[in-house]
Chain A
Amino acid sequence: AQTVTQSQPEMSVQEAETVTLSCTYDTSESDYYLFWYKQPPSRQMILVIRQEAYKQQNATENRFSVNFQKAAKSFSLKISDSQLGDAAMYFCAYRSAARGTGNQFYFGTGTSLTVIP
């Protein structure tokens, strides 16, 4: 099974500054999808951003962008102009695009982000 590793259990950032959350994954597949999900104190899991492995261009969603390094199997999330509402647990996730049964997502253990006013 694929594994997803988030080596930073906790991170903090000053409001309006930029922070980068790290994620690495292990796979032998060439086609897959990567995601960042946000879990605020409300516990709701919210999709932040998604990247297709076959695309070289890094995905961007407003203040959120990724640095996708396929060869290094690295998928980091950059949050620019951090806001208090960005405080949450962030999960990196992997999904295979290979044909087969199931549609399983593999999640990392999460990074808790604190935003300091």
Chain B
Amino acid sequence: DSGVTQTPKHLITATGQRVTLRCSPRSGDLSVYWYQQSLDQGLQFLIQYYNGEERAKGNILERFSAQQFPDLHSELNLSSLELGDSALYFCASSVGGVQGTGKDEKLFFGSGTQLSVL
């Protein structure tokens, strides 16, 4: 058990709908990262938050948004869903979030949310 909790584990919805994925980082971790894993692609970085603030943004669509709350849990909101959004969405956490600090930083992953858009 990595200590990172993601809910729900599975989500089935229809095109055009909106869903929210939730992530609770490991105790003490300040950074939360969201990744998308599609069948034919590796892990695509979406976005990172550090202590409530956006730190880095990757290939995140405008239909997607995220936030990190004061208790450090994070939510990823996906709207106007399309068939191609079907994927496994991972949340990961780390202690810090600034490159060059925390030399021993590692990413700890949750078990993912499998999103199926029908």
Contacts and interface: CB of A to CB of B under 8 A. Distances in A.
A100 B99 contact: yes
B48 A108 contact: no
Interface stretch (B18-26, B65-73, B75-83, B86-94): B86-94
A51 to B, nearest CB: 12
B56 A103 contact: yes
Interface of B: 2, 31, 33, 35, 41-43, 45, 48, 50, 55-56, 58, 88, 90, 92, 94, 96-103, 105-109, 111-112, 114
A95 B105 contact: yes
Contacts of A103: 31, 33, 48, 50, 55-56, 94, 96-99, 102, 105
A43 B111 CA distance: 6
A47 B99 contact: no
A105 B100 contact: no
A104 interface: yes
A35 interface: yes
Interface in A85-117: 91, 93, 95-110
Contacts of B103: 52, 97
Contacts of B88: 43
Given A35-B106, A44-B2, A107-B43, A102 B111 contact: no
B42 A91 contact: yes
A91 B111 CA distance: 16
Interface in A29-77: 33, 35, 37, 42-47, 50, 52
B107 A105 contact: yes
